[in-house]
Chains A and B, each alone.
Chain A
Amino acid sequence: MNDAIAFTEDQRDALQELMNISMGQAANSLAHLIETKIGISIPNITAVTPEQLFEMVRHNQEAHYTRQSFMGDIHGEVMSILSQSGLAEVAELMEYEQPLSDADIKETILELCNILAGACLSGLSEQLELTTNLQMPTLFQPEKHDFNQLGWQHSLVMEVKFDIQISSFTMRVVFCLDDASLHKLTSTIDELLG
């Protein structure tokens, strides 16, 4: 936890609640689309340095990674970490035909991330009355040097875990905001809190 951008207790609670609602909506949307139950964890909200962020996303080698940037009133990036296991079942739920080609798997990953990250973001921005636009997601491999070269010192990380009940599939979504967007976010929350 970094003091420079620490939240007040109230801000954190508010953000956590907002995230909870948007995550719920996201899970709901996906569940509706693929007609299966989806569980979500309680959102975890922390402020991290690039190095800490790398440690957060790194600890699973058996994973796929995507990133997707968003712009508008607040901007930043969404990183999604997907488990490799259970992906085939999810692809099947999304009406892909077996056997899955490499392109099918990649498409499934990108689409899943897009759906979940998009739903989270639109839920959050809707409640905060901010406009955001999500860009196209891309696959990537996190390397330590990438994180050291990032142009920011701190980031807000909102992390949530989805798991799809019929398979062993899990996914984590990490939102990263830069300093300016962070101020925008906290001031908007303050307004909401009155």
Chain B
Amino acid sequence: MDNPLLNKLPIGICLVNQDYIITHLNAFFLDRMASELRDEAIGKPIGDVFPEQIKFLKRRIKSVFVLKHPSFSYWEQRPHIFPFKSSRPITGEETQMVQNMEIVPHKDPDTGQLCACILIQDVTAQASYFKAQAQLAEELKAEHEAQRKLIRKLDRAQAQLIQAEKMASTGQLAAGIAHEINNPMGFITANLNTLEQYAKHLLDACQASRDLVEIHSDTELQQQFNQIIQSNHVDLVSEDIAPLIEESKDGLKRVREIVSTLRSFAEDTQTGWGLLNLDETANQLVQLIGVQYKAPTYKVQCEPPNLKWYCESASLKQALTNVLMNAAQSITDKGLVMLSIQQRGAMLHIKILDTGCGINEKHLGRIFEPFFTTRPEGQGQGLGLSVAYTAIENHKGKMVANSKPGKGTVIEILLPALSEKQAEPQDDENSSLAASTQQPESL
């Protein structure tokens, strides 16, 4: 047992007999023990020399003697079995040695006596490395989570900004164009009215001349006069001129209406919260979008009529415009776009239904993501629904999409009635209702 090699090992070896008396300690053990204990340790009960964890040690030694098979202890559960100083007492952070222990049954070749061989491994370095790693992993995870949140916020903010910017400029542009159109519209309308009068006068004059020639003149003059009348298609002109003018006046009236809707919609600079007439807004919206997308038939319902709702009008209008625009764009040939607004108690149900191309199931979960689009590059930024989503979220509402490819799409918006106080802006992470997507149901 007194092989000098044992004293060179980087492992602590301690032999204990069946009476728990220490029979051997190698240099690893002796070097780390208090000097007064060193000389007397051998021959003493292990409990006298190492009382710190004696209960545990005895239990394990007993198990080795009974089962005749090794017992292990791992630093993570029990780091310090023997009161040894760290192998790096000066530079290290650990002051006590972290240990792995193995107790193996050992039969002394000389005496044939069975004893327990306690093997101690210094794993301080591994343990502190492991701990540092674990802490690092924890920090990384937290940081990652924070970053993810931030990125999501940033994405939204960016999306909103782009859309707001776009809308502001389109709105200004629309208002400017509306103004520019109104000017010529003024004199065109006035001139058309005058022209109508003039045309009437001319036709009257023509008719009077005809009558006069018929009564008084000779045949030759009559013939020449009729030739002039015929070659200038006066009959046709006199028949056609009134409806032509009427039609033009009608057209002008329509242009005026569109321009004034556009103006009232775009020039609505009133931001912030207030009461919005949803019925009126819905009709305006459908009219505007209907000008641009003529394929679908539009239907608007508002229950009760002239419903006024407390909201941030600009963003809610924006949200509705975006959703409605998508619905209209989904129909290429024939179809229906329906916007229904219904108040049910303290909740507002807005439903935008279309019988268009529908949304692929695998895309359905992503449609509210900023910059998600299925359109070819340059034909859409993928912001419409994400902006709508944010707007609805700011109203503490919920937005759900259902779709069946080839059949159509239903977007439902649920808005709770808010009072002025509740509408205070707050962190969107805490928003009570969130958008969700569901499996498509039949439409």
Pair from one complex: yes
- Give A contacts to B, CB under 8 Å: 29, 32-33, 94-95, 103-104, 106-107, 110-111, 114-115, 118-119, 122, 134, 136-138
- Give B contacts to A, CB under 8 Å: 55, 59, 62-63, 66-74, 76-78, 100, 102
**Contact partner, B69, options A32, A94, A103, A118, Cβ 8 Å:** A118
Q: In the complex, are the beta carbons of A106 and B71 less than 8 A apart? A: no
CB contact under 8 A between A115 and B100, given known A110-B72, A122-B69, A136-B74:
no
- Pairs A–B under 8 Å by Cβ, sample size 26: A29-B66, A32-B66, A33-B62, A33-B67, A95-B55, A106-B76, A107-B78, A110-B74, A110-B77, A111-B63, A114-B70, A114-B71, A114-B72, A115-B63, A115-B67, A118-B70, A119-B69, A122-B68, A122-B69, A134-B69, A136-B72, A136-B74, A136-B100, A136-B102, A137-B72, A138-B74
CB distance from B98 to the nearest CB of A (A): 13
- Give Cα distance in the complex from A119 to B66, angstroms: 11
Report, nearest first, the 10 A-B pairs whose CB atoms are least far apart: A103-B77, A107-B77, A118-B69, A136-B72, A29-B67, A106-B77, A122-B69, A33-B66, A33-B63, A95-B59
- Give Cα distance in the complex from A83 to B67, angstroms: 23
- Give Cα distance in the complex from A33 to B66, angstroms: 7
Q: In the complex, are the beta carbons of B70 and A134 less than 8 A apart? A: yes
- Give Cα distance in the complex from A106 to B77, angstroms: 7
Label chain A's interface by main secondary structure: helix
Q: Which residues of A contact B76 (CB under 8 A)?
A: 103, 106
**Contact partner, B67, options A104, A110, A119, A137, Cβ 8 Å:** A119
CB distance from B57 to the nearest CB of A (A): 12
- Give Cα distance in the complex from A17 to B71, angstroms: 27
- Give Cα distance in the complex from A193 to B19, angstroms: 42
Q: Which residues of A contact B66 (CB under 8 A)?
A: 29, 32-33
Most chain A CB inside 10 Å of its own CB: which residue of B55, B68, B72: B72
- Give Cα distance in the complex from A104 to B55, angstroms: 14
CB distance from B53 to the nearest CB of A (A): 12
CB distance from A103 to the nearest CB of B (A): 4
Q: In the complex, are the beta carbons of A111 and B71 less than 8 A apart? A: yes
- Give Cα distance in the complex from A33 to B67, angstroms: 8
With CB as the reference atom, state the residue of chain A lying closest to B100.
Answer: A136
Most chain B CB inside 10 Å of its own CB: which residue of A32, A94, A114, A137: A114
CB distance from B100 to the nearest CB of A (A): 7
- Give Cα distance in the complex from A119 to B68, angstroms: 9
Q: Which residues of A contact B70 (CB under 8 A)?
A: 114, 118, 134
**Contact partner, A107, options B55, B63, B73, Cβ 8 Å:** B73
- Give Cα distance in the complex from A147 to B362, angstroms: 31
Q: Which residues of A contact B69 (CB under 8 A)?
A: 115, 118-119, 122, 134
- Give Cα distance in the complex from A10 to B216, angstroms: 140
Q: Which residues of A contact B74 (CB under 8 A)?
A: 107, 110, 136, 138
- Give Cα distance in the complex from A51 to B437, angstroms: 35
CB distance from A107 to the nearest CB of B (A): 4
Told that A95-B59, A107-B74, A115-B63 touch, could you supply 14 new A-B pairs with CB distance under 8 A? A32-B66, A33-B63, A103-B78, A104-B77, A106-B76, A106-B77, A110-B77, A111-B71, A111-B72, A115-B69, A119-B67, A134-B69, A134-B70, A136-B72
CB distance from B157 to the nearest CB of A (A): 38
Most chain A CB inside 10 Å of its own CB: which residue of B55, B67, B76, B78: B67
